[in-house]
Amino acid sequence: MKINKKGDKLLSIYWFAILVIVATGVVIMVNVYYGSPYDVRQVESGILANHVANCIYFGGEVNPSLISSNGIFKEDFRDHFMNYCTLNFSVEGEFTQIPYYLEINFFKGIDSPTSVFNISEGNQNLKSDCGVDVQDKSKLSKCTSNSFFMKLNSNDVYFVKILAVVSKVNENTN
Amino acid sequence: MKTQTKKINSRGQIGETLTWIVATIIIVVMLIFFILGSSLLSGTKNVGDTFRQSLTSAQVVQGTDLFLKKSLFTYTSIGSDTNKIILDKKLSKMADAGQFNLDYNSTKIEILTRYAKR
């Protein structure tokens, strides 16, 4: 009888040890899986491009602050683009670089190769990350390039090209 | 008799201990396997065009393309027929190059129908 009791105790210790091992394993698995961040930069740059597109051309109407009635682009829109489009690229910290870059080019006509007006905001150094052909692009900024045609009241058609770049490498990668 | 009983008991104990050792090894190996699996599945999870394609494919989700719709709205509101033809050709070219998230022709029909209703 004595021997049996000892065996039971030993078995209880064994089961407890197994329980601890399995629980530790589950904790490690959950931590490993959910500990790594989601890279949302591509989506973020897409949302930024959409926002700018809506700011320029919404519901078939060009933003009246962008072009005057006689088809001349307003410098004031370029100078206060961030305010007009309710954007804010300011970052905390004195030496922190802006993790965004925006570039908008306007081409008169449907097939014109030269830009007649352009707006750029943010950190211009990020632009060089776009179009870089390397295998591991996780440490590069994410770029979204979109374009659309807009029509003025005067029936003039403009081709608008938007480039949105989001850096934020540290926040989105391991 | 006493010696015989002892022998049988110790054999049984050894057998049982071996079973538990093997069971423990299997549990630990399975745990390691699952931990490795979860670390392989994790990594950095990219949320974008390639995120879980089975869930975000065109067959499952309709999706949208703001830029294509803006261009098509411009197309419908252009007065000149020549410009319309040129713009249509240009948009078709862009669609062939895979620049739009939606099917060009079906979206064009959808926008034209909507515009005609108004």
User: Which tens digits make up the pLDDT trace of B47-83?
Assistant: 766 555 555 555 555 568 889 999 999 998 888 888 8
- pLDDT, greater one: B98 or A100: A100
Q: Pick from A81-85, A110-114, A138-142, B51-55 the range whose average pLDDT is largest.
A: A81-85
Q: What is the mean pLDDT of chain B?
A: 79
Cβ-in-10-Å burial (0-12, 13-18, 19+) of B93 comes to exposed
Max CA separation in chain A (angstroms): 105
Q: Are residues B70 and B23 in the same domain?
A: no
Nearest Cβ partner for B73 among A43, A60, A110: A60
Amino acid at A43: V
Q: Which residue segment(s) compose the domain that B12 sits in?
A: 1-42
Q: Are residues B63 and B105 in the same domain?
A: yes
pTM for the full predicted model: 0.76
Q: Are residues B56 and B104 in the same domain?
A: yes
List chain B residues with CB under 8 Å of A38. 44-47
What's the domain count of chain B?
2
Q: What is the mean pLDDT of chain A?
A: 88
- A160 touches A117 (CB < 8 A): no
Work out the minimum CA distance from B82 to partner chain A, whole angstroms.
11
The confidence score (pLDDT) of residue B48 equals 66
List chain A residues with CB under 8 Å of B6. none
- pLDDT, greater one: A83 or B14: A83
Q: Are residues B37 and B12 in the same domain?
A: yes
Q: Are residues B87 and B56 in the same domain?
A: yes
Q: Are residues B103 and B59 in the same domain?
A: yes
How far is the C-alpha of A52 from the C-alpha of A103, rounded, in Å?
A: 10
Provide mean pLDDT across the span A38-56: 92
Q: Are residues B68 and B97 in the same domain?
A: yes
Nearest Cβ partner for A146 among B20, B42, B67: B67
Q: Are residues B55 and B108 in the same domain?
A: yes
Q: Are residues B20 and B65 in the same domain?
A: no
Q: Are residues B71 and B98 in the same domain?
A: yes
Does residue A105 carry a pLDDT above 90?
yes
Neighbours of B102 (CB within 10 A): 18
Q: Are residues B28 and B57 in the same domain?
A: no
Q: Are residues B33 and B63 in the same domain?
A: no
